[in-house]
Structure 1
Amino acid sequence: MGINKYVSEVKTIDHNQQIVFNYLSNFENLASYLNSGLIEKITEKVPQIKITDFESDRDSCKFNITGLGLAEIKIVNRDPFKSIKVESSGGLPLSFTFWIQLVPIDEYKTKMRLTLHAEMSMMIKMMAGNKLEEGINQLADTLSKLPYQ
């Protein structure tokens, strides 16, 4: 098992840093957005994987992944208005730690970058490594366009 690092492009969000942080640091905000079609967009690129039974509270979310079982991710650290640290637990063939980093540009704009540290076997890396590289940028793009409020 090796740890692999994937870093997204820096994205600009047209909202205040505090608003962005408060929204992203609460998985309940993401639940309604995910249930409105984002899960289908994420999984359409890999049709053999289906995500079902999505549940969340403020600090964690759980979901079933076809063929893999129950997966859970948890927010394990919030550094107010600067970063959110998320870790996986159970159900996945890899474990990961994921950071959302936020930096203010001005009062109404925020820069965001995602960093993923994934621990996976060489076989999983060969199968998923390029997809993770692509996926981290797609996720950053998606998060930059959420309906922050």
Structure 2
Amino acid sequence: MNKNQLIFREATIEDLDRIVYLLSDDVLGNKREQYKQPLPESYIKAFQSINSDPNNELIVACYGEEIVGVQQITFTSFITYQGGWRATIEGVRTASLVRGKGIGSMLIQWAIQRAKDRGCHMVQLTTDKKRPEALHFYEKLGFKASHEGLKLHF
């Protein structure tokens, strides 16, 4: 795979099937996602919400016509940091056949540049504690585990 031929673009509704497949194609994802045909309506509604929000971007990495990666970037204004903006990266996945080939690094670097272009003062993300290799991956890209994140699932 020639990484120079990789392009990043905003996802379209036609990409949704492949995106849900990528999200479900790992140990944790296959427990929380429902990749089936037809796709559950909840995915379509979520896509429409993201697509209509100027502070949300669903980005796909394409090698030719094939989608090999996905990530969501959310831009949020805060009162803290003097009313600064930050970007949150979520739902990063690469196709299993290209994992370990630098696609994930390129996705994250693309998101970092996008956040800078949007005037953000920081980029943040979380990773599941059951993914120690992901934590190491993000640390290699310059991220620091500076806070303890907490979640309350309903």
Fold match, TM over 0.5?
no
Give the structure with the higher percent helix.
2
TM-score normalised by length of structure 2: 0.34
TM-score normalised by length of structure 1: 0.35
